[in-house]
Structure 1
Amino acid sequence: MSKKKMQFEVQENESIDSCLERMKKQGYMPVRRTEKPIFQEVVNGNVTTYEPVGRQIVFEAIRAE
């Protein structure tokens, strides 16, 4: 028996649509989308700043009955 809930992360060279299609092929339906920013540490002299360089998109999905 497969899991009722799963998380699908949009891969680096993958579009959101292709991630949703991959989810559908495995028999899951999205219920929630979360985005987390990805930061890079930048040091200028003795000052450290954090700059956004990307984002991580994760879909929470349930089994489609």
Structure 2
Amino acid sequence: MKKKKFRVSDYQSIDDCLNQMQSEGYRPIKRIEKPVFEEQQSGEAEPVEQEIVFQAVKDE
């Protein structure tokens, strides 16, 4: 079973990413969401975006 990660880019929708996975012969098994923080001048971290990554396996 071969695994691969697919990241949803800033200019891509989740459906586009899922379609890309399917066209490459993969199916999603896990969705990971991570907040991306930016440090402000006050020293506090503020979330600026959400990074979405899919783990996928080769469809047999």
**TM-score bracket for the superposition, by shorter chain length:** over 0.9
- Mapped to 2, the partners of 1:14 and 1:38 lie a distance apart of 17
TM (norm. structure 1) is 0.88
Structure 2: where are the runs of 5+ without partners?
none
Mapped to 2, the partners of 1:11 and 1:43 lie a distance apart of 27
Aligned to 1:31: 29
Query: TM-score, with normalisation over the residues of structure 2?
Result: 0.95
User: Displacement of 1:63 after TM fit?
Assistant: 0.5
Q: Which has the larger radius of gyration?
A: 1
Q: Which residue of 2 aligns with 1:49?
A: 44
Q: Which runs of 4+ in 1 moved over 2 A?
A: none
Quote the offset at 1:55 in angstroms: 1.0
1:58 matched to which residue of 2?
53
Q: Percent identity?
A: 45
* Count of residue correspondences: 60
Superposition CA RMSD, Å = 1.1
